[in-house]
A = this chain, B = another copy of it.
Amino acid sequence: MTEVEAKKPQESLQVRLAQVVELLQRHKVVENLTHRQEGINHGRVENLVHRQNLAELQRKLDELHSADVAHILEALPLDDRLTVWQLVKAERDGDILLEVSDAVRETLLADMDDHEILAAAREMDADELADLASELPRDVVHELMETLDAQQRERVRSALSYEDDQVGALMDFEMVTIREDVSLEVVLRYLRRLKELPGHTDKLFVVDYDGVLKGVLPVKRLLVNDPDKQVSEVMATDPVSFHPDEDAYVAAQAFERYDLISSPVVDKNGKLIGRLTIDEMVDLIREESESEVLNMAGLREEEDIFASVWKSLRNRWAWLAVNLVTAFMASRVIGLFEGSIEKLVALAALMPIVAGIGGNSGNQTITMIVRAMALDQVTTGNTSRLIRKELGVGLVNGIVWGGVIGVVAYLLYDSWSLGVVMTAAMTLNLLLAAMMGVLIPMTLVRLGRDPAMGASVMITAVTDSGGFFIFLGLASIFLL
């Protein structure tokens, strides 16, 4: 896609979104009027106002950067979203489709016919096509591939052959390559002949005649060095590079750590096949953090906030069902002690406190550990240390807060032994929460799963069932 230098927006995104919503609102009011009066006359005046509103909206949209239009589309309910989508100039369709979230893209594509989709896709680069291919109708993809030249087709195929989380799926092919045995002067003249450089070109890739990467020439060095020098004297050898089958998230961490802007991707023979750029990596970092949040809350994937109720249900049901099972198990634990509760009904009122504090504390621990694992700070060597520390925190919390609530229980029910049982149960449940808060994410990782996956649901299951069992069990032994 062609690149435009972004201009400073006059208003904040919030303000621009509000403006579009207002124009849409006016448009709908007029439309309703027109419909109602259709029987009487043709509502010519209203029709005119109607068209003026849409024209103003269109002007507004034309001024906006594609990324901003994408943002506005994401923030609109479906009907308004499609009204706006139809007003967007056809040649911008491709850019905008690439910017919106997957969930919203689906709704936009559903509104386009094959002809429109083809037109939008034709403007795209090979890596962008590959990103979208899985979401396009099959015959459109087929037709599209036929219009590509051999090299482009090969690139799309190659990008499609990698998993979403591999470097190969995120690389692009817009590289400027040079030879090492020429002078910087020659390089400068070569660049001038190109007329335009790809975005994020902070370095040129130095390759030999077989296409094997020999080094990189940072543009910074090209600019400050004597033009008579050879590329080989100035280039950086042994730069950070990636293989297409590496984990993309590891690459993103390297970009973050070493402050990279672009980086070469080479195959196992050292041949340059593509490059990674910081913009893709930023998107990936954002997505990773988001999926951590979503996973912990038991949501399967990102959700269009205006998704239909049915789509939202599908996204949320998996973990709700798990939660239902675990809640039922906790309920059966209580069922075991119905006799005790009948004798001492205060137990029913106090037991959720033990379970609740355990859940909160366990969630704190598991959040900490999941984060440390995402940052690669947890090794097998320090697991026992982590558990010891969390157990320490749990013990102090149990004694202090358990003590407080024990005193409160004594005051409420005038039974010091009930207070002691309360304190003991709180302490034991917090120790259980600490232990499982460390062990659950570690076990998930050992099973090859995402450590954040439903972490919150699982730790709560343990602290609920465990809390009820510990408290009611202690009470049955010592109080009855």
| A residues lining the B interface (CB < 8 Å) | 5-9, 12-14, 17-18, 21, 25, 65, 67-68, 71, 74-77, 188, 191-192, 194-197, 199-202, 216, 218-220, 222-226, 236, 238-241, 250, 253, 255-261, 278-279, 281-283, 285-286, 289-290, 292-294, 296-299, 303, 305-307, 309, 312-313, 316-317, 319-321, 323-324, 326-328, 330-332, 334-335, 338, 341-342, 345-353, 355-357, 359-361, 363-364, 366-369, 371-372, 375-379, 381-382, 385-386, 389, 392-393, 396-397, 401, 404-405, 408, 412, 456-457, 460, 464, 468
Contacts and interface: CB of A to CB of B under 8 A. Distances in A.
B309 A392 contact: yes
Given A75-B379, A77-B382, A389-B312, A405 B328 contact: yes
Contacts of A220: 196-197, 201
A218 B5 contact: yes
Given A256-B286, A464-B356, A191 B239 contact: no
Contacts of A334: 348-349, 352
A32 to B, nearest CB: 17
Given A202-B202, A313-B393, A236 B5 contact: yes
Top-4 shortest CB links A-B: A289-B289, A6-B258, A297-B367, A309-B392
B14 A376 contact: yes
Contacts of A345: 338, 341-342, 348
Contact of A199 (B236, B259, B379): B259
A352 B364 contact: no
6 contacts: A21-B379, A200-B259, A278-B278, A305-B369, A313-B393, A321-B401
A77 B385 contact: yes
Given A259-B199, A278-B278, A298 B18 contact: no
Copies in the complex: 2
Nearest to A188: B223
A406 to B, nearest CB: 12
A93 to B, nearest CB: 18
A286 B350 CA distance: 40
A328 B303 CA distance: 35
Residue among A9, A223, A307 facing the most chain B CB atoms (10 A cut-off): A223
A346 B312 CA distance: 33
A405 B323 CA distance: 12
B331 A298 contact: no
Contact of A328 (B353, B359, B386): B353
Contacts of A377: 71, 74-75, 305
Given A17-B376, A21-B382, A356-B464, 9 more contacts: A71-B375, A75-B377, A75-B378, A278-B282, A293-B367, A296-B296, A323-B360, A328-B353, A352-B464
A201 B202 CA distance: 9
A285 to B, nearest CB: 6
Contact of A197 (B67, B224, B292, B294): B224
A401 B319 CA distance: 12
Contacts of A396: 309, 313
A438 B256 CA distance: 34
Nearest to A297: B367
Given A292-B293, A379-B17, A331 B350 contact: yes
Contact of A331 (B201, B327, B349, B361): B349
Given A8-B241, A278-B278, A67 B258 contact: yes
A313 B398 CA distance: 11
Contacts of A382: 21, 75-77, 306
A194 B224 contact: yes
B8 A226 contact: no
Contacts of A330: 352-353, 356
A292 to B, nearest CB: 6
